[in-house]
Structure 1
Amino acid sequence: IFNAIKMSESNYLCFMDDDDSWAPEYVSRLLSVLANIQSTYSSVNAIACHTNKVAEIAENNRIIINSTQPWNHYLNAGPVSFDVIYYRNSIPLSSCLFDKNSVIDMIESHKLSSPAFFWPFFIHYLAENDVWILPEALAFYHFRENDDFEFGN
């Protein structure tokens, strides 16, 4: 995975959990805001948006959504502080967009294939970069309440 990231011609990088989703305007909106923010704050090399939690059931090859509610809407526009992630996974993996150059040197020291990859990576990232919060719900963090197939959530 690391070699593919390194060889990609993209200037930006997102990570998507396989059962999460984005609003159609997610990428264009985050890219636009990040470019504007970077023109003023050069230390900001990533952006994260507000996220909605989606509670769902997988049944007979269908997804049934039971509820949608704010996940991290208490986060204000501006740079993220370490306090925000100290107690809770306030910023899901799928809500972030990174400048690839800010990630490439540190990502190799993290195991991308691990389900727990993002937490230690994000702490490492915040130690060296600023992440801006965009207070718009453009990412959806899906939680399976139950499912009826072999591989689960």
Structure 2
Amino acid sequence: KMSESNYLCFMDDDDSWAPEYVSRLLSVLANIQSTYSSVNAIACHTNKVAEIAENNRIIINSTQPWNHYLNAGPVSFDVIYYRNSIPLSSCLFDKNSVIDMIESHKLSSPAFFWPFFIHYLAENDVWILPEALAFYHFRENDDFEFGN
């Protein structure tokens, strides 16, 4: 609440963004909000990154589209009904649309985003930007202490 920022992102510790992620999402969100006042967040396409941790190094095995089937425009509940189509790290929120709502969700829970996002969509629109600017990392080996 004390932050002077107007926007908020949640970053999973093993996910990553393209260098232009923040500037691109901010620019598009500002444009969209000038036309659609109910849009208070934006999410971009995401690539799934399959990787292993070996000898204190991360080795990327493959990168593939995660949610590139999502079209530009507002997200519908149907999109998230069956699958985690929108990773936490792909979203940027208008801070005012989140700040009161977030207090009713447990941020420290590994499953925080799912109930929060459903609650958020019930009160706000989220716009999809069909550009792959976020990377959803999955560790393929489970012997690493910080794996998914």
Q: Please give the TM-score of this superposition, normalised by the length of structure 1.
A: 0.95
* Whole-angstrom CA distance in 1 between matches of 2:105 and 2:144: 31
* CA distances 1:121-152 after superposition (whole Å, capped 9, x unpaired): 00000000000000000000000001543333
Give the structure 1 partner of residue 6 of structure 2. Answer: 11
Deviations 1:75-112 (A, max 9, x none): 00000000000000000000000000000110000000
1:59, 1:148 within 8 Å by CA — same for their partners in 2? Answer: no
Alignment correspondent of 1:20: 15
Alignment of 1:36 with 2:31, yes or no, is yes
Unaligned runs of 5+ in 2: none
The CA distance in 2 between the partners of 1:103 and 1:46, in whole Å, is: 9
CA contact (8 A) 1:53 1:142 kept: yes
Contact 1:60/1:148 (CA < 8 Å) preserved in 2? Answer: no
Q: How many residues align?
A: 148
- 1:1-153 correspondence runs (5 A): 6-153=1-148
1:51–1:71: 8 Å Cα contact kept in structure 2? yes
TM-score after normalising by structure 2: 0.98
Indicate conservation of the 8 Å contact 1:21/1:139, yes or no. Answer: yes
- Secondary structure of the structure 2 residue equivalent to 1:53: strand
Deviation sequence 1:5-58 (CA, Å, 0-9, x none) = x11110000000000000000000000000000000000000000000000000
In structure 1, distance between residues paired with 2:147 and 2:64: 22
Secondary structure of the residue that 1:29 maps to in structure 2? helix
Q: Check conservation: 1:57, 1:65, Cα contact below 8 A.
A: yes
